[in-house]
């Protein structure tokens, strides 16, 4: 069993942040989203991984992930010159996949479930394809499944105007090599892409064994700012723990599940978890509220911050209140006059003074 992780694309919904970084490397609880994907595959025993990368962000993905040894997996990088749909990514990866069954995992998706049980079901039931489905509130924005009265999968449609159900395809798919001739028989959709939903439909129409399982836990697509903040909240709420490695002075109060990285100093400040703060940071005369992640080498002084994600090397100075914000690397936000609360999405190397 091989793993195929899709880490290409241009991340247009997270711009300006993704002008300078891959969306799959944006951190949730101070860990790149892509790392959660690799960990889930490794826990399921899938250790031969191919990662689809693009010319725009491929080098940064390679630098961040390396050879996979930290997860005890083998990594093969697969260049995709132009995004052409999920099925096109599989076609591009054919030399790596060869005749092996594989799990395809979208690199900007977070799920709470371990995929081991789904993998076991795919193998034991001798399926050609297994998809995961989850109820969503906005089915027009997803690939949607239609079931018959017996609960069997009969049709898939990509981003339908008239959705047949609210069951969306989660970004994790299990395939045998039967998917390759299905993709070979595809034509581009109205979006100009080779759709994986059309390939799975081809398998259904050809009498192949295609089944589905319901994802009971949460599933988050982190492609937009609010989605990423929701993911940060969910991960901190469920998986964070108290881990103080830095220095907390006598004038500070740190309550709840708060992680403070090495060499970080907290001075005359209040921190209420769940919160994670990276290494080599300074938090001074500030309040850090719940569901906040602060990257390495950041400085927060005389500011109030909550429900936000700060990447590394960020400076906040005299900000009365910053909330529901995503701040890129090396950004600086500083106040010169009194102001109301802020809600920001800032790209790397940004300076905001007000």
Interval 277-311: pLDDT, tens: 999 999 999 999 999 999 999 999 999 999 999 99
Least confident of 1-5, 77-81, 195-199, 340-344: 340-344
Question: Can you list the positions of beta strands (E) in 228-350?
Answer: 243-244, 247-248, 253-255, 258-260, 265-267, 270-272, 275-277, 282-284, 287-288, 292-294, 299-301, 304-306, 309-310, 315-317, 322-323, 326-327, 332-334, 345-346
What pLDDT, on the 0 to 100 scale, is given for residue 187?
84
Residue 194 has pLDDT above 80, yes or no: yes
What pLDDT, on the 0 to 100 scale, is given for residue 314?
94
Distance CA 234, CA 186 (A): 38
Residue 12 has pLDDT above 60, yes or no: no
Least confident of 97-111, 219-233, 242-256: 219-233
Give me the mean pLDDT over the 108-120 stretch: 91
What pLDDT, on the 0 to 100 scale, is given for residue 333?
86
CATH topology of domain 240-353: UDP N-Acetylglucosamine Acyltransferase; domain 1 (2.160.10)
Q: What is the pLDDT of the chain when averaged over all its residues?
A: 89
What pLDDT, on the 0 to 100 scale, is given for residue 218?
86
Least confident of 94-98, 237-241, 273-277: 237-241
What pLDDT, on the 0 to 100 scale, is given for residue 21?
62
Just give the CATH number of 2-235. Answer: 3.90.550.10
- Domain locations in the chain as residue ranges: 2-235, 240-353
Q: 107 and 37 in contact (C-beta within 8 Å)?
A: yes
Query: Residue ranges of the alpha helices (H) in 189-287?
Result: 196-205, 225-239
**Interhelix angle for 58-65 vs 33-43, to 10°?**
50
Quote the pTM value. 0.88
Residue 9 has pLDDT above 80, yes or no: no
Residue 19 has pLDDT above 60, yes or no: no
Q: 220 and 237 in contact (C-beta within 8 Å)?
A: no
Nearest to 135 by CA among 222, 197, 224, 214: 214
What pLDDT, on the 0 to 100 scale, is given for residue 340?
58
Burial classification of residue 250, based on how many CB atoms lie within 10 Å of its CB (0-12 exposed, 13-18 middle, 19 or more buried): exposed
What pLDDT, on the 0 to 100 scale, is given for residue 47?
96
Instruction: Give the number of other Cβ atoms within 10 Å of residue 154's Cβ.
Output: 14
SS3 326: strand
Distance CA 110, CA 61 (A): 17
pLDDT in tens, 305-347: 999 999 999 999 998 899 998 888 888 888 766 555 555 556 6
Give me the mean pLDDT over the 223-230 stretch: 78
21 vs 296, residue with greater confidence: 296
Q: How confident is the model at residue 66 (pLDDT cuts 50, 70, 90)?
A: very high
């Amino acid at each position: 069993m091989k793993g195929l992780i899709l880490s290409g694309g241009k991340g247009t919904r997270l711009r300006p942040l993704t002008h300078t970084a891959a969306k799959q490397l944006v951190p949730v609880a101070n860990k790149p989203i892509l790392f959660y994907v690799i960990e889930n595959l490794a826990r399921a025993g899938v250790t031969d991984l191919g990662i689809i990368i693009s010319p725009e962000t491929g080098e940064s993905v390679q630098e961040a992930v390396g050879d996979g040894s930290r997860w005890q997996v083998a990594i093969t990088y697969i260049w995709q010159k132009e995004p052409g749909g999920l099925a096109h990514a599989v076609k591009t990866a054919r030399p790596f996949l060869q005749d092996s069954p594989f799990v395809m995992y979208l690199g900007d998706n977070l799920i709470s479930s371990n995929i081991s049980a789904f993998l076991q079901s795919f193998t034991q039931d001798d399926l050609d394809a297994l998809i995961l489905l989850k109820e969503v509130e906005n089915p027009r924005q997803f690939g949607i499944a239609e079931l018959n009265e017996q609960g069997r999968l009969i049709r898939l449609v990509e981003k339908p105007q008239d959705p047949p159900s609210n069951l969306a395809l989660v970004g994790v798919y299990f395939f045998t090599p039967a998917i390759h001739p299905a993709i070979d028989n595809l034509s581009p959709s109205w979006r100009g892409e080779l759709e994986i939903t059309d390939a799975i439909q081809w398998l259904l129409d050809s009498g192949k064994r295609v089944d589905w399982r319901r994802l009971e836990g949460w599933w988050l697509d982190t492609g937009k700012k609010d989605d990423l903040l929701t993911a940060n909240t969910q991960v901190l709420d469920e998986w964070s723990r108290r881990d103080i490695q830095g220095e907390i002075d006598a004038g500070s109060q740190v309550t709840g599940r708060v992680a403070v990285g090495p060499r970080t100093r907290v001075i005359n400040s209040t921190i209420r978890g769940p919160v994670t703060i990276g290494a080599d940071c300074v938090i001074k005369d500030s309040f850090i509220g719940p569901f906040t992640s602060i990257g390495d080498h950041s400085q927060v002084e005389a500011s109030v911050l909550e429900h936000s994600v700060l990447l590394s090397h960020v400076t906040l100075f005299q900000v009365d209140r910053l909330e529901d914000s995503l701040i890129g690397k090396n950004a600086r936000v500083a106040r010169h006059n009194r102001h109301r609360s802020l809600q920001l999405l800032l790209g790397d190397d940004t300076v905001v003074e007000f």
